Structure 1
């Protein structure tokens, strides 16, 4: 069980990194360049995709926490993991609901006033994309030590 936990500890951050990088930094901006995709249509697709991605992120976070608990790493690894989990919690609890409400308004034909919510979400995704491989490397080093 400890070996499986060790493998999960290393695999999850890199899997999670691929998920976030692929969706947030490739799919999300590119969908609006596709022929025939209007802003409301792109936002509707984005809401569905990000809802699914965030659910998967929550599952990955839960499995990572279990793996960390089964084979407790050193303090720096816990700190980086905690930072990733805090970011995810902020995104899920505060930013995503607010962004969903804004998307609903645009889809309904009454765009809301400008806001910095997307910028905040992108900044948090960027920090997450830096922290996840950092966590994976730290955990891999801990495993090999």
Structure 2
């Protein structure tokens, strides 16, 4: 395995690990912590997800550059492009709706639950699958 595929594999699995740790471990657990109110959990979540999404965007840029330098097999390339497109969908289409709801809740309004949260989770789950498959295909390639 050359340098570019090794970097792409490492970046893919670091990205995957971060999403699994934050989205599927930290995020749900903070709402179960004793004495943590919805407002506090949302405030923490906004900060954590803003940071996660910034790191994800940086990792996606690194992947694009590395994959442009040394293009992997079609399967690996397509699955990683899918992961990047899913991230963009989350950032552009879903996060603004989630932010509006959390703004309202943090301001003390009784905002109804948002279906955007379920969309975000579905996109996050698909992104995990794309990163896992893409990472495996990079290693196998």
Q: Mean Cα displacement is larger for which, 41-50 or 91-100?
A: 91-100
- RMSD after superposition: 1.2
Q: Indicate the SS of the match to 2:2.
A: helix
**Stretches (4+) displaced over 6 A:** none
Q: Indicate the SS of the match to 1:33.
A: coil
**Alignment coverage as a number of residue pairs:** 141
Which stretches in structure 1 are left out of the alignment for 5+ residues? none
Which stretches in structure 2 are left out of the alignment for 5+ residues? none
Q: CA deviation at 1:64?
A: 0.6
Q: Is the 8 A contact 2:30 2:36 kept in 1?
A: yes
Alignment of 1:32-43 (within 5 A): 32-43=31-42
Q: Is the 8 A contact 2:101 2:111 kept in 1?
A: yes
Alignment of 1:72-83 (within 5 A): 72-83=71-82
TM-score normalised by L of structure 1: 0.93
TM-score normalised by L of structure 2: 0.95
Q: Is the 8 A contact 1:102 1:111 kept in 2?
A: no
Aligned to 2:126: 127
Aligned to 1:27: 26
Once the two structures are superposed, what CA deviation does each residue of 1:82-121 show, in whole Å capped at 9, x if it has no partner? 1111100000111111101100101111132233111000
Q: Is the 8 A contact 1:12 1:60 kept in 2?
A: yes
Q: CA deviation at 1:29?
A: 0.6
1: CA distance, partners of 2:10 / 2:110: 41
